[in-house]
Every structure is written in structure tokens, then in C-alpha cells.
Amino acid sequence: MKAIGISSSGREGAYSKRIVNDILMESHVEFEMIHLADLNIKGCLGCLKCARSNRCIQDDEFHTLTDKIIEADALVFGGGNYYGTLNAIGHAFWERTFALRHQGAFPIEGTLGVAVGLDRDKEKREASSFIERMMLSNKMALIASLTVSGHQQCYDCGFGHECKEGNVYSHIGITSAEDAESKRPLEYTCEDQKEARSIGLLLGSILRAKTA
């Protein structure tokens, strides 16, 4: 049994990386953690030259990654919401899976999937829904999904929010990066962590049952 964990965040200390890792650690199965920002994966060209061979013609690290996923029993994918959808790094990866599905070939069909979306608006679940949709379009077996609030970027730069009085803008509430960090809301809560652990336990139990 082996699982692949993927974080599509560009941040080195990304919440998506931490959450995906937490899920996989709790599953107690062998896994490899991959940070997409470390790889060279381009977007789909729409050239359709993959239709005959089910292999994208672009020479980058997409092939190395998909080879690993095809060999794995599960994929846990986490990424953040940029402008109402999954961020560009993650989007590029999922676009490229178009190359895998021609002539009825779905090499990751049945692979267990867990979607982790970092959505500021947890009701809309825009990043989570995108990941789920892409897993299902590849005929993966989606077993769980987790949505957390993730990074609150306005607390990272130190400038805080602006208010307008007449024609004058002024920063309020936050005076420095240190002050911003002290006022940061809790983004990966104890409840989120409990849910991540329960998903990890579920994933591990399903994988072990498949090999029993």
C-alpha cells in the first residue's frame, strides 16, 4: 500500500502541505509527500497530440508525477483558493490529466482520493469542489473532502485593512508584521485537525481492507 500526498501551494510552510501530511501520517500507510511548486509542470496546450498515446507531448515533470500516482493506491491533494478556484499550480496539474483519458483509458480509475481545499469562504468550497470534480472526472474513488480556511493573506504583509474617510485611505488595526501575526485568526483549528485525523484513519482502514 502506498499513497501520494500533493500540496499545490507556493508557500514553503503551506497549510495544505501540513494538512495533507497530517492525514497521511494518521493513515499509517507508506506515503510520499510532493510539493508541486518544486516541480516543473506546465499548463495544458490544448494541442490534442496526447489523444493517440494518452501521453502528453510536453517534456516536463508531469510524467514523473503521474507515473507515481498511477502506481499508488491513494492520492491526497490539497490546494488553496486563488480568485475563486484552485490556485494556478494545482490547476495546471489537473488540466494535464486530460492526457490520460483518451480511448477509454483512465489509469487512475479507482484510486482512492481525498480532497483538501483551503477556502476563505468555507460555505462556497470553491477550491475543494474543483479538486473533487477533477478526481471524479478521472474516475477516482473520492472517499473524503476537507475544507479549512487556510492562510489569511491580509495578515501576512503587515499592512492590515484600509478604511476610507472621504477621499483619505488609512490603515487600521495593524501596525507591523509582528502585530499582524499576533492578530491572525486561527486558520487550522483543533476541529479541523480532528477531522483530518479521522479522514486519515478512514483512508488507512480502507487501504488495509483492500489488501486483507
pLDDT at residue 169, rounded to an integer? 42
Residue range 19-27: average pLDDT? 97
Task: Identify the residue with better confidence: 21 or 152.
Answer: 21
Lowest mean pLDDT among 20-24, 102-106, 139-143: 102-106
Question: For 42-73, how does the pLDDT look when each residue is reduced to its tens digit (9 = 90+)?
Answer: 999 999 999 999 999 999 999 999 999 999 99
Residue 166 CA, distance from chain mean position? 42
pLDDT at residue 176, rounded to an integer? 54
pLDDT at residue 138, rounded to an integer? 96
Per-residue confidence band for 14, with pLDDT thresholds at 50, 70 and 90: confident
Q: How far apart are CA 204 and CA 158, in angstroms?
A: 41
Q: How far apart are CA 96 and CA 92, in angstroms?
A: 6
Per-residue confidence band for 205, with pLDDT thresholds at 50, 70 and 90: very high
What is the per-residue burial (b if ≥16 Cβ within 10 Å, else e) of 41-51? beebeeeeebe
Question: For 129-188, how does the pLDDT look when each residue is reduced to its tens digit (9 = 90+)?
Answer: 999 999 999 999 999 999 998 766 665 655 554 544 454 444 445 555 566 556 556 778
pLDDT at residue 172, rounded to an integer? 47
Long-range contacts of the stretch 97-105 (C-beta < 8 A, 24+): 97/66, 97/134, 97/138, 98/44, 98/50, 99/44, 99/50, 99/54, 99/55, 99/56, 100/54, 100/66, 100/138, 101/54, 101/137, 101/138, 102/50, 102/51, 102/52, 102/54, 103/51, 103/54, 105/54
Give this prediction's pTM: 0.87
pLDDT at residue 10, rounded to an integer? 87
pLDDT at residue 12, rounded to an integer? 79
* Domain covering 2-151+187-211, topology: Rossmann fold (3.40.50)
**Of 156, 136, 115, 147, nearest to 8 (Cα)?**
115
Task: Identify the residue with better confidence: 126 or 167.
Answer: 126
DSSP per-residue string spanning 15-75 = HHHHHHHHHHHHHTSEEEEEEGGGS--PPP----TTTTTSS----STHHHHHHHHHHSSEE
pLDDT at residue 180, rounded to an integer? 56
Domain boundaries, the chain: 2-151+187-211, 153-185
Q: How far apart are CA 209 and CA 52, in angstroms?
A: 36
- Cell numbers given for 41: 509542470
pLDDT at residue 113, rounded to an integer? 98
Question: For 62-101, how does the pLDDT look when each residue is reduced to its tens digit (9 = 90+)?
Answer: 999 999 999 999 999 999 999 999 999 999 999 999 999 9
- Cell numbers given for 169: 485611505
